[in-house]
Amino acid sequence: MGLVYILGAFALFIAGGIVWGELKLRRLRNKRHGDAFGREHFIEAFRRMGVPDHIPAAVYDYYGSQRQLKNFPFSSDDTYSDIWHDDPEDIDADATALAARLGMLIPPEYVRKQYGDKPIETLREMVLWLDWMRQHQPKSSESVVDSAS
């Protein structure tokens, strides 16, 4: 009987966390409504840094295509922990999926080590990582990556 109470409390704890997360996203969405947020503002933040538009556009569209984040007003400084609660493996999978979407090859490990062991914690860092990868593509794939520009 004690196990039933423990499992019930655990289920209630999980449900409360889900509801809390949804309310947090709803408040953030409402707070950003009408402000300088949205796809074009997101892309513009990187244009000033010299990042080709197709990279931040792909990141914005990729995350915006997730059901719970449809039409979400992302900021380049949104953290994965605050919006998605992703663990590092999920972020790596996202980076791989985004690279494929952009027609890029993941560089070999010895090339990636040049970038360093910087963890990707924000959307800005994801865009900058993808732009770095674009600049370090093998010669045979450059035409594919550049044609997406």
CA dist 15 and 4 (Å) reads 16
My answer on whether 45 and 12 are in the same domain is no
Q: Facing residues of 79 across strands?
A: 122
My answer on whether 27 and 48 are in the same domain is no
Residue 47 or residue 5, greater confidence? 47
Distances (CA, A) of 116 to 64, 120, 149: 28, 11, 26
Render pLDDT for 66-99 as a digit per residue (tens, 0 to 9). 777 777 788 888 888 777 766 777 888 899 999 9
Going by pLDDT thresholds of 50, 70 and 90, the confidence category of residue 12 is low
| Number of domains the chain is built from | 2
pLDDT (mean) for 1-7? 67
Q: Which residue has the tokens 């674009």?
A: 134
Could you tell me the pTM of the whole model? 0.72
My answer on whether 6 and 72 are in the same domain is no
My answer on whether 40 and 28 are in the same domain is no
C-beta of residue 25 within 8 angstroms of C-beta of residue 63 = no
Nearest 10 degrees: CA dihedral of 110, 112, 116, 120? -150
Residue 53 or residue 87, greater confidence? 53
Residue 119 has pLDDT above 70, yes or no: yes
My answer on whether 25 and 72 are in the same domain is no
My answer on whether 139 and 128 are in the same domain is yes
Range of the domain at 26: 1-33
Burial class (CB in 10 A: 0-12, 13-18, 19+), 101: middle
My answer on whether 56 and 103 are in the same domain is yes
pLDDT at 55: 98
C-beta neighbour count of 90 within 10 angstroms = 12
- Token output for 18: 């889900």
